[in-house]
Structure 1
């Protein structure tokens, strides 16, 4: 009974201060490449997902689940890598509408196409990167953001040291 009471008080507290926890959807454009040697160009893709924003006064913690199309161009060959990424960003609110953010991102490879048979087998199943970004909050409902994810792990198996690097421009909607 005591636990139920605490849950009700917690729920009412969160409901009364709805700005403490917010959920939303996001999406946008990616420009990605793989670091490494050779003629490596960028590939255009997209990202889409969901997020929660937990307000801790000056800093917000923003965990996300995002589907992201990434990869690079090697000459005239596109290497397409699809990930479910889980960034956990710490967002510092500088002004009412301006923020900067940084945090780790864990990626899980869900698909790959490099023109070879069994393409997915040529790439590591996980990726780790660090994201840094900034954005503006519009009308307390929308966020317009720019983020750069710097890869820290090699994503190719036996093909040199290739790390994901992704520039994202996105729009988020908070419920």
Structure 2
């Protein structure tokens, strides 16, 4: 819990110092976290899925007319599995409103777990720019590795669906 409080204070500090800069966005929405555990054939695979929500922010860097890079910091709150996500998404604009997104996503479990706190995902999805400020987006993150002794046996995948506001 103490780690969570420190990270939330850090995030609020980042948001307050970058507020109003071109390309900064805040976002929130729902997420579905799926956990699958490989028991080594003992009982077959065990899996569970839980709904929660996320909140965070990011900064959009325009690389060229049709391509952006947007790193974000997201806090995910799901029953018994609070996490911090750092997606670095490449966004290709198909039109002025629609984009497709893909990139790596680092995740860190904020719960007091003895092992496997860090993970690396590949995330992909899409977004729709409603107007100059408001947008909606959806992404799915597939875990490709997890640190620790049990990292190969546990897969954590995440679906996020939400909305955001971009400060221009």
TM-score, with normalisation over the residues of structure 1?
0.73
Shift of 1:155: 6.1
Shift of 1:158: 3.6
State the match for 1:61 in structure 2: 69
Residue-by-residue CA offset, 1:95-153 (whole Å, 9 max, x unaligned): 01000000001112212xxxxxxx522x4121110110011100121111110000112
State the match for 1:124 in structure 2: 116
1:174 is the counterpart of 2:131: no
Shift of 1:22: 0.6
Aligned pairs for 1:157-172 within 5 A: 157-158=149-150, 161-172=153-164
Q: Is the contact between residue 156 and residue 162 of structure 1 (CA under 8 Å) also seen in structure 2?
A: no
Could you tell me which runs of 5 or more consecutive residues in structure 2 were left unpaired when the two chains were aligned. 1-20, 39-44
1:46 is the counterpart of 2:38: no
1:34 is the counterpart of 2:42: no
Aligned pairs for 1:129-168 within 5 A: 129-154=121-146, 157-158=149-150, 161-168=153-160
* Separation in structure 1 between the aligned mates of residue 89 and residue 121 of structure 2, nearest angstrom: 12
Classify 1:164/1:54 alpha carbon distance in 2 versus 1 (closer, same or farther; 3 Å): same
State the match for 2:5 in structure 1: none
Could you tell me which runs of 5 or more consecutive residues in structure 1 were left unpaired when the two chains were aligned. 1-19, 71-77, 112-118
* Separation in structure 1 between the aligned mates of residue 98 and residue 148 of structure 2, nearest angstrom: 37
**What RMSD in Å do the two structures reach over aligned CA positions?**
2.1
Residue-by-residue CA offset, 1:55-91 (whole Å, 9 max, x unaligned): 1221000000111135xxxxxxx7x222211110000
* Separation in structure 1 between the aligned mates of residue 98 and residue 109 of structure 2, nearest angstrom: 32
TM-score, with normalisation over the residues of structure 2?
0.75
